[in-house]
Amino acid sequence: MNRHPTRAWEALSQSRRRWLTALIAIPAVALGVLLQHELALSQPLWLEILTIAIFVLLFAWISAGFWTALVGFFVLLQGRTRSIAHDPEELRRSPRPDARVAVIMPIYNEDPTRTIAGLQACYRSVQRTGKLEHFSFFLLSDSRDPQSWVNEELAWASLCEELNAFGRIHYRRRPVNNHAKSGNVADFCRRWGKQYEYMVVLDADSVMAGDTLYRMLEIMEGNPQVGILQTQPVSVNRSTLYARIQQFSQRLYGPLFSAGLRFWQLGDGHFIGHNAMIRVAPFTRHCALPILPGRAPLGGQLLSHDFVEAALMARAGWEVWFLPELGGSWEESPPTLIDDLKRDRRWAQGNMQHLRLLAANRLRSAHRFLFINGAMSFLAAPLWGIFLILGAISGLIYWAHGGSSDSMSLFHYGMDNPLPVWLFAVTLTFLLGPKLLAVLWLHWSRQAKYFGGTGAMLLGVILESIFAIVLAPVRMVFHSIFVVQTLTGRGVKWGAQVRGDQETPWRVAVRQFGALSLIGVSFLFAAQPFLGFWHFAWLLPIFLGLALSVPLAVFTSRSSWGLWARRRRLFLIPEEIQAPRELRELGSEYVDFLPQVEGDAFIATVVDPRFNAVHAALQRDRAGLWGITAALCNKALTLGPAELSRRERNILLSDRQAMLTLHRAVWSQHEPEKLAAWGLL
Amino acid sequence: MYVDHWQSGSAADLPLPQATDPMTAEDVVLLSRMETYLSRLPFDDAQRLWLQAELALQLRQLTVDDPAVRSARAFAALQNRIATLHRGDEWEARLALSLRPVLPAEIEQPSRWLRGHQMQPQRSKMASVPMQRSVSAFLQRQTQSLREFWNRSRRLVPFFGNVR
């Protein structure tokens, strides 16, 4: 299939992006010049140049967000995000009867209860649309842990039984999980890609509404030039205070940024790796990820695949559209600060790797910008850190020349030199402006009631802003560490993500943030006498944020605090006031049909006659391994299952005859200690 | 070394049952274990009663005293009886029982039915496309496009120079 010959949106998007470039560059350079006037007489040249360069970079970075939000604000005020004539949504078409979509959920050592609940919610939602004939569902497991594997498999069988969906919901476990999630998706494309025109990628914590999935299919059918359709997943379902604040801020400010992004990007949109529909044939043909020369972390496999896949799709001439207005797309955010930072650690490495693709031939400039933008979300932290250090050096020079703290007071500023006030005010406007615009939009569009009412929403915004300010230095330190670790060759391993609401114990928080807190407290006490009151006051949010990191991590990880805030209508989001059916169906009562595997799932699969029969039916006879499996069966029966390593269990589980033989042999035993080892006494 | 007594348990030349033979304490324990096994499979009442009776009968028939052999033969006998419920294949019988709510009645081989409901792969290739990532080549390309842009501008706006 070839791309569509005409691209009506391209000229418009180029013009818009030129405007964006000008809006970012001109104020940043202008403020840099103004700052130069301020610093020229008081600072040495090297300090002046470094300070101005970092200021311009950081200001450009925050202004990109500000202009995006501002444009989004006006787009939303107009009441429509579709701003061009040949918008893909307007060209949607009823799908052909043979149009087939694979909804795939790659998983890795996940809790099957949650993944099955999510898959079931999607399935039932599609079923309610009456268009199930177009959709198939795949649970693509990369789990290495035999416990997870067996649990997933049994949960899948029960789900199929519950929904009578054998043949429509499929389970596949990859024995060798190279290239992590992107490798898992690529494996799907290689095996089954030919049988599907489209695929929808879901994360283990994703849910999508059937109406949304069908609408995406209609859009794809009507727009044969579109390669990827990306929705905006909304963070939901968490109860810890930390996650509820994140949900609130994303739900409140997100629409502005999304509308703005869509305005700039048009058909050169981004892809976040999930909650998106992909045209399989061009994806298979063009989006296999390159392996970067050199060793990890900057070389080797790409850790963040999504941006690169979007760039490769666009490079091959296909369009990538971000459709935030579609709705019906949800995900779950990390429950605690520590989990959030763990995710950032992976993203930091992945985004830094993207810089090595910047010079690649035939990439669209919009995607080069996305690579830079992604890297800047982590590089901004060390830049801000260096900026603070430069500020401290300036301060020392200032004090050495007999400066007084009073000249830094809010009341003194602007008296003889208004420039610093202007710089501060502009920066503050660019940082906090989007929040204000979001509140204005929600107020005018009468949507504040979905956030607990205007009062609760405003209080939420104030508290969230304070939380974000206090947390900013903690993030700055950690992101800086991540960048330094990546640049110095310390890579990160692929691991399962935390999905449940787990509280952070004090000892864990002290281990992770203790040093930061100590530094913050030390500065709070040590710096004040040297800096004078007003200089100290300017730096207080940074010291305070560092000092409070341990209690912040602990208290915000508590569900009880999150639920307390919810009872007081704080940080409410529309999905908490009126949960969509798909989210209600994630409740435990909807998955009570799942088998209760108590204890060791490997033992249960050997011993339980039903589990054993189903598991064996899904394996093949691996005659080549029979020499090994015979020895392992003997080991399991003579020494007990506890003596088998994870690898040995995986080998046994993968061979049908081994599992049938073990089942028979275990039940034939008579020695009490051996029976006890298999849970039969 | 594990010894598989199950193989010998499947022998068909078992002596006829004597219903009046007493049951030993070991046999009661063994029977209870077999009951546990049966309880995990969704037999109907008639099947369950028949299996229980058959098992008790088989235990009484056993002439060997070695508990290892008795245990193995009892389980083998149980599996043989379960197999008779589904065309002689014990595993297929267990699978049929496990999938009973959704398995069509006419299906003879549940394992084949299950495999048939799995999507069969049709392999295709997915390999990364070569990418020129050299920075100097990138700069050359950018210079070239700038030059082209400049030439185009000169043609469009003659105020900036001679039009060729």
Tens-digit pLDDT profile for residues A26-53: 999 999 998 888 777 778 888 889 999 9
Length of chain B: 164
Q: Of the candidates A167, A189, A286, which has its C-beta nearest B117's C-beta?
A: A167
Is the link from the previous residue into A5 a cis peptide, with omega within 30 of 0?
no
pLDDT at B164: 44
Check CB contact under 8 Å for B94 and A610: yes
**Domain residue spans in chain B?**
6-85, 134-164
Kindly tell me if the per-residue pLDDT of B134 is higher than 50: yes
B contacts of A668 (beta carbons < 8 Å): 4-6, 9, 71-72, 75-76
Nearest Cβ partner for A608 among B33, B40, B132 = B40
Distance (Å) from the alpha carbon of A660 to chain B's nearest alpha carbon: 8
In this structure, what DSSP letter does residue A448 have?
A: G
Spatial distance between the Cα atoms of B14 and B73, rounded to a whole number of angstroms: 11
Confidence of residue A588 (pLDDT cuts 50, 70, 90): confident
**In angstroms, how far is CA A264 from the centroid of its own chain?**
22
Q: What pLDDT is stored for residue A415 in this prediction? A: 58
Per the listing, tokens 């341990």 go with: A550
Q: Tokens 């298999």 map to which residue?
A: A678
Is the confidence at residue B158, as pLDDT, over 90? no
- The overall average pLDDT reported for chain B is 81
A167/B121 touch (CB, cutoff 8 Å), yes or no: no
Residues A576 and A243 sit within 8 Å (Cβ to Cβ): no
Percent of chain A beyond pLDDT 90?
A: 74
Closest CA to A288 of A411, A372, A187: A187
In this prediction, residues A519-546 reach a mean pLDDT of 83
Check CB contact under 8 Å for B114 and A618: yes
Q: Which residue of B has its CA nearest to A358?
A: B133
Compare all CA atoms of chain A with the CA of B104 and give the residue at the minimum distance: A164
Interface list for B 21-60 with A (CB within 8 A): 30, 33, 36-37, 40-41
Partner residue facing A617 (CB), from B4, B95, B124: B95
Cα angle B21-B22-B25, degrees, rounded to a multiple of 5: 145
pLDDT at B155 over 70: no
User: Which residues 122-161 in chain B show a CB within 8 A of chain A?
Assistant: 122-129, 131-135, 137-138, 141
H helices within A287-418, ranges in order?
Answer: 306-315, 337-354, 365-400
Angle made by CA atoms A659, A663, A665, in degrees to the nearest 5? 115
Q: Is the CB of B107 inside 8 Å of chain A's CB atoms? A: no
Question: Cβ separation of A194 and B68 shorter than 8 Å?
Answer: no
**Interchain pair A665, B68: CB under 8 A:** no
ipTM of predicted complex: 0.80
Taking the CA of residue B161 and the nearest CA in chain A, the distance in Å comes to 25
Q: Which residue has the tokens 């299996």?
A: B51
Token output for A640: 């007990």
Alpha carbons within 13 angstroms on the beta-carbon side of residue B75 total: 25
Give dist(CA A50, CA A58) in Å, integer: 12
Q: Which amino acid is at B56?
A: A
Please determine, for residue A140, whether its predicted confidence score (pLDDT) is greater than 70.
Answer: yes
pLDDT digits (tens, 9 = 90+) for A183-216: 999 999 999 999 999 999 999 999 999 999 999 9
**pLDDT for A528:** 74
Contacts of B1 in chain A (CB under 8 A): 634, 638
Which residue pairs from A543-547 have beta carbons closer than 8 angstroms and sit at least 24 positions apart in sequence? A544/A470, A544/A520, A545/A469, A545/A470, A545/A471, A545/A472, A545/A473, A545/A474, A545/A520, A546/A473, A546/A474, A546/A477, A546/A516, A546/A517, A546/A519, A546/A520, A547/A517, A547/A520, A547/A521, A547/A523
pLDDT of the residue at A414: 54
For A289, which residue in chain B has the nearest alpha carbon?
B128
Report CA-CA distances (Å) from A13 to A19, A63, A267, A365. Answer: 10, 19, 8, 11
**Residues of chain A above pLDDT 70, percent:** 94
**A139 three-state secondary structure:** strand
Q: How far is B105 from chain A (nearest CA, A)?
A: 15
Kindly determine whether residue B129 and residue A288, on different chains, have CB atoms separated by under 8 Å: yes
Count residue pairs from A and B with Cβ separation < 8 A. 135
> Which A residues in the span 621-680 are in contact with B, Cβ-Cβ below 8 Å?
633-634, 637-638, 660, 664-665, 667-671, 675, 680
**Paired tokens of A406:** 């009073």
The tens digit of pLDDT for each residue in B63-84 reads 888 888 989 999 999 999 999 9
Judged on CB neighbours under 10 Å (0-12, 13-18, 19+), B161 is: exposed
Q: What value does the mean pLDDT of chain A take?
A: 90
Better-scored residue on pLDDT, B145 or A214 = A214
pLDDT number for residue B58:
86
A140 close contact with B: CB closer than 8 A? no
Q: Sort out which chain A residues have CB atoms less than 8 A from B141's CB and list them.
A: 361
Distance from CA of A534 to the nearest CA of B (A): 48
pLDDT beyond 60 at A491: yes
Question: Residue B159 pLDDT > 70, yes or no?
Answer: no
pLDDT for the residue B107: 86
Q: What is the pLDDT of residue A479?
A: 94
- The shortest C-alpha distance from A212 to chain B (Å) reads 25
User: Mean pLDDT over residues A353-372, rounded?
Assistant: 92
> Chain A partners of B137 at a C-beta cutoff of 8 Å?
359, 361
Query: Is B131 in Cβ contact with A357 (below 8 Å)?
Result: yes
Nearest to A609 among B4, B41, B70 (CB): B41
Pairwise CB contact (< 8 Å): B124 & A190: yes
Could you report the per-residue pLDDT of A301-344, keeping only the tens digit for each? Answer: 888 899 999 999 999 999 999 999 999 999 999 999 999 999 99
pLDDT digits (tens, 9 = 90+) for A393-445: 887 787 777 766 566 665 555 556 677 778 888 888 999 999 999 999 999 99
B19 touching A, CB under 8 A?
no
Which pLDDT does position B62 carry in this prediction? 83
